[in-house]
Amino acid sequence: MAFSDVRKPAVAGMFYPETKAELSKQIKHFLDNVKYRKVKGELIALIVPHAGYDYSGQVAAYAYKELEGRRFKRVILIGPSHHVTFDGISVGEFDYYETPLGRVEVDRDFANKLVKSGGKISFIRAAHLREHSLEVQLPFLQTVLRKEFKIVPLIFGNSSFKNSQNLAISLAKLVDEDTLIVCSTDWSHYHDYETAKKMDRKGIDAVLQGDIASFAEMLEKGECEACGVPAVITTMLLADSLGVNKIQLLKYANSGDVTGDRSKVVGYAAIAFAYESSPLSDEEKKELLMIARKTLESYLSKKKVPEFKVPKGTLMERRGAFVTLTKDGKLRGCIGYIQPIKPLAEAVQDMAIAAATRDTRFPSVIRSELPEIEIEISVLSKLQKVNNIDEIKIGRDGLYIIKGLRSGLLLPQVATDWGWDRKQFLEEVCYKAGLPKDAWKDEDTILYRFSADVFHE
């Protein structure tokens, strides 16, 4: 029988109950206190606390409640080191992590790929032996993810933006829709209750806005705190790459809310990163085309971007979008946002101007051309990594390819318009990126597919 390398629990009986019965009972109690789930779309990442369950377990339950009824094959756990300092990120090299609820298998294949990707990612065993920030997440995961799942335990040895950036880039190349990111952090430490709430609100608001620059600036000024800063920044960077368009605060509290002692408290938050999309109605499509047309008329004649009152709803969802301009049936400009970085109405406005004035393949559109210009809008779905080219369906999917510093995108309708088969489509997206036609086969190439809701005037 082969020997298994098992990481034994380090904080059972201290941070959470050491018996299966008591641990299961406590987690059930926490989860039962959360009456309903808030995340409607595709769940991509969670931020959770890592204090003792008596202090932060209820807040954590608001995050883990969202996993009930969902299935993930892999969970990436990212947290800070509280015992060992080093420059870089350590991957847990064990075969299993054990808790009173049983063992969870480590995805060694995924871990090995991460280490090979470079970026100061390595195996540092000592970083994991006593670390609680990841261990305390496991009993919750074992409870809510009833199907088998594997974990990839990642510990930051220091706070380095470059290391966070490198890890986010490496993970973006490897994760798929069956992967969940769990970021472990507590917030402000040992301030009075009101000061802690103000500090935590600032930091959490920056996360909810996806504003990494503001978050980093506030940390530098001491206006907010988080012990898992590099894990949070990695998660925020990764969220951008994975198409997150909705970030929700599920629950906030601090230790003063639990113990009643408000003199020196620690902050806890449960935050969800998701992708949500609603189908566009015919009226909403007409509204977007109107916004694009009136924006072009105003900008090309007065250099002014008009303001529109857009009601809350689908047009205010962050979505990727392309605007295509044609004249006499021929392309006159096409530019878009690949990722959902802006509300849809604003994205269409931006890209209408960009398609008319910044597509370097064509001279800028002038005002007198507008009566002859037809506008087409493509609202993109979330990018999905292609693991097998058989997944690609002509007429449904667009392609986005990345290799090194080069990238290229072709919308779904392009393959249909030109009558390409799958192989031709792959070769053409390589050409669009300035790559050799067979570059899609290379191991270091990342290929995504996406669908689009396409409509025109």
**Which stretches of 211-346 are assigned E, i.e. beta strand?**
246-254, 265-275, 321-327, 330-337
Average pLDDT of 98-108? Answer: 97
Quote the pTM value: 0.86
Note whether 244 and 393 are same-domain residues.
no
Least confident of 203-207, 237-241, 268-272: 237-241
Res 397 pLDDT > 90: yes
Range of the domain at 301: 279-380
**pLDDT value at residue 424:** 97
Q: Please report, for the domain that includes residue 334, its CATH number.
A: 3.30.700.20
What residue type is assigned to position 451 of the chain? Answer: S
58, 175, 252 from 359: Cα distances, Å: 52, 32, 45
Among 380, 413, 430, residue at a domain's last position: 380
Res 332 pLDDT > 70: yes
**pLDDT value at residue 241:** 87
Q: Is residue 315 included in any domain, yes or no?
A: yes
**Which stretches of 29-170 are assigned E, i.e. beta strand?**
42-48, 74-80, 89-91, 96-99, 102-106, 121-122, 150-156
**pLDDT value at residue 2:** 65
Note whether 141 and 104 are same-domain residues.
yes
Among 246, 275, 304, residue at a domain's last position: 275
Task: Give every CB contact of residue 117 below 8 A, 6+ residues apart in sequence.
Answer: 170, 173, 174
Note whether 23 and 110 are same-domain residues.
yes
- The whole-angstrom distance between residue 237's C-alpha and the CA centroid of its chain comes to 7
Task: Encode pLDDT of 247-275 as tens digits.
Answer: 999 999 999 999 999 999 999 999 999 99
Q: Take residue 326 and report the two structure tokens written for it.
A: 């044609």
Res 289 pLDDT > 80: yes
Is residue 287 classed as helix, strand or coil in its secondary structure?
A: helix
Note whether 213 and 335 are same-domain residues.
no
**pLDDT value at residue 107:** 97
Q: Take residue 443 and report the two structure tokens written for it.
A: 């191991």
Q: Please report, for the domain that includes residue 157, its CATH number.
A: 3.40.830.10
Task: Encode pLDDT of 304-324 as tens digits.
Answer: 999 998 887 889 989 999 999
Note whether 358 and 440 are same-domain residues.
no
Tally of domains in the chain: 3
**pLDDT value at residue 362:** 96
- In the block, which residue shows the tokens 């064509």? 362
Note whether 374 and 406 are same-domain residues.
no
Share of the chain above pLDDT 90, in %: 89
Q: Is residue 47 included in any domain, yes or no?
A: yes
Is residue 151 classed as helix, strand or coil in its secondary structure?
A: strand
Note whether 160 and 293 are same-domain residues.
no
- In the block, which residue shows the tokens 């490897």? 174
Mean pLDDT, rounded, of the chain: 95
> What is the distance between the terminal CA atoms of the chain, rounded to a whole angstrom?
68
Q: Is residue 1 included in any domain, yes or no?
A: no
Average pLDDT of 19-46? Answer: 95
Note whether 237 and 137 are same-domain residues.
yes
Note whether 226 and 331 are same-domain residues.
no
Q: Please report, for the domain that includes residue 397, its CATH number.
A: 3.30.1490.150
CA distance 396 to 399: 10
**pLDDT value at residue 184:** 99
Q: Is residue 197 included in any domain, yes or no?
A: yes
Task: Encode pLDDT of 37-46 as tens digits.
Answer: 889 889 999 9
Q: Is residue 45 included in any domain, yes or no?
A: yes
Q: Is residue 87 included in any domain, yes or no?
A: yes
Confidence band of 440 (pLDDT split at 50, 70, 90): very high
Res 146 pLDDT > 80: no
